[in-house]
Copies of this chain bind each other. A is one copy, B any other.
């Protein structure tokens, strides 16, 4: 756990906060400080690559376990494909190569030798005939295998998922949100018909939305991407879009209908029931460690991380309050262990309630703050008086840190699962309210431009303004490009559900089939 913040109250901050700067003062820096204070991850000496620390990795494990269960429940099986992709494979699909061959890690040698200065250099004699790219995504290499696995309609649908690391060489990186190497899952499926492939594409989008809302407590809008934001090689790309507390959109998961583009590139053909050799239809879909960044930015406050209970590595932390050389120390520890044992048998959404007892030798205040910053849903302080009264002194991370309640031990245990559910649904409701507050139907260009322009250059938080604009759009790429250029705003998605009333593009006045979501984006 991190050290307590040593930040002092500043003129612009009325109350002391554990994280400095606050969200209002400097949102991007607030994010970095929350990640650091919660000990989720840090930068490594390798450019753009992060180290995911135990608390962050435990979060990822919980995300993985949940998603993996959802994938398996929808018929998918896991497999593992090579880290390396030969250049010639990337070249097979024309738009794919333009999208992914830009910035990637290229392996050119397979041996090191001592160079003239004594240090190691790549052995010139070990130059690879064909360089290998570290996978930025695996459509091409998986497609090559699928071409062998799929022979007949009986082999379809083929529903495969891979948990893996991928590399996209990024120039500007931010922990979890954009890193050169990241962890993700990539689903790859093959179907006999376009309809089935499209069903799969949307089914997995639904799985992602379900996960975001019911596990991460982050409300999302499901929609289709415009041409400019499409996955290179896809016919249609769908995404779930979430609003962060700086009112920007974050794309939290994507699902692609690839049509026959990759089956033609990789020769994935099947003999139909009618005896014809047909190209198959494929999909791919993925979410990554970026989800952790989304969760931090959706729920965190100026005291640090706030974890949705269903994904929290620990649900309850018990802080025994014992005096130095206090004879009662052992009794309090026993009381805490007994309490932990009682909690650890309580089921909670496929797990049991997970409890930490923090008996570290450190200042009590620092200890409490370390757990606040780490985002643990429930803190229990147990001192001699609590023990004497057979009670616990409870604080909830979703409430003010000074708000604490004395509860009978048995009552707390009996209600612990319900309390966690309350915190979970409270986080979702709060995020939903925030998004609703900052989502506006806008029907004029002036209002649209004003919405996305800071009120004043001298405003305290010039970066925090705007939100989601639901406005009509004629669909012309040039129009979207112009808005992006002038405002830094893009169409995040064309929502699949909700208001489908036609109207007129706020920029060109041309007909528009429905409102789309415009926002600045991560």
Contact = CB atoms under 8 A, between A and B. Distances in A.
B103 A361 contact: no
B110 A109 contact: no
How many monomers of this protein are in the complex?
A: 2
Contact of A49 (B52, B84, B91, B104): B84
A469 B119 CA distance: 43
A453 interface: no
Contacts of A83: 49, 134, 165, 167, 181
Interface stretch (A72-80, A390-398, A487-495): A72-80
B112 A104 contact: yes
A324 B356 CA distance: 59
A378 to B, nearest CB: 21
Interface in A49-78: 49-54, 57-58, 60-61, 77-78
Contacts of A145: 42, 44, 51
Nearest to A149: B53
A45 B101 contact: no
Given A107-B105, A109-B106, A58 B44 contact: no
Interface in A116-130: 119-122, 126
A68 to B, nearest CB: 9
A85 B120 CA distance: 13
A460 to B, nearest CB: 35
Contact of A52 (B42, B61, B79, B141): B79
A84 B54 CA distance: 20
A154 interface: yes
A169 B111 CA distance: 8
Interface string A116-160: 000111100010000111100000010011000000001000001
A98 to B, nearest CB: 10
Given A86-B45, A144-B45, A169-B111, A120 B104 contact: no
A106 B104 contact: no
A434 interface: no
B81 A51 contact: yes
Nearest to A133: B112
Nearest to A90: B120
A46 interface: yes
Contacts of A107: 105-108, 134
A103 B109 CA distance: 9
Contacts of A90: 112, 120
A49 B144 CA distance: 14
Given A79-B51, A81-B44, A104 B111 contact: yes
A108 B57 CA distance: 29
A350 interface: no
A235 interface: no
Contact of A134 (B77, B80, B134): B134
A104 B78 CA distance: 27
A82 interface: yes
A112 B108 contact: no
B46 A82 contact: yes
A90 B134 CA distance: 20
A496 interface: no
Contact of A101 (B57, B81, B120): B120
Contacts of A53: 79
A101 B51 CA distance: 23
A208 B66 CA distance: 28
B122 A106 contact: yes
A97 interface: yes
A363 to B, nearest CB: 13
Contacts of A79: 51-54, 57
B58 A77 contact: yes
Given A105-B84, A112-B102, A120-B87, A78 B51 contact: no
A87 B119 CA distance: 9
Contacts of A167: 83
Contacts of A181: 82-84
A120 B96 CA distance: 13
Given A84-B181, A106-B112, A122-B108, A45 B141 contact: yes
Given A44-B82, A46-B82, A90-B120, 10 more contacts: A51-B80, A54-B79, A83-B165, A87-B112, A106-B110, A106-B112, A106-B122, A108-B108, A109-B131, A122-B131
13 contacts: A45-B141, A46-B84, A52-B80, A58-B78, A61-B78, A91-B119, A91-B120, A97-B120, A106-B108, A106-B109, A106-B112, A106-B122, A154-B361
Interface of A: 42, 44-46, 49-54, 57-58, 60-61, 77-91, 97, 101-112, 119-122, 126, 131-134, 141, 144-145, 154, 160, 164-165, 167, 169, 181, 183, 360-361
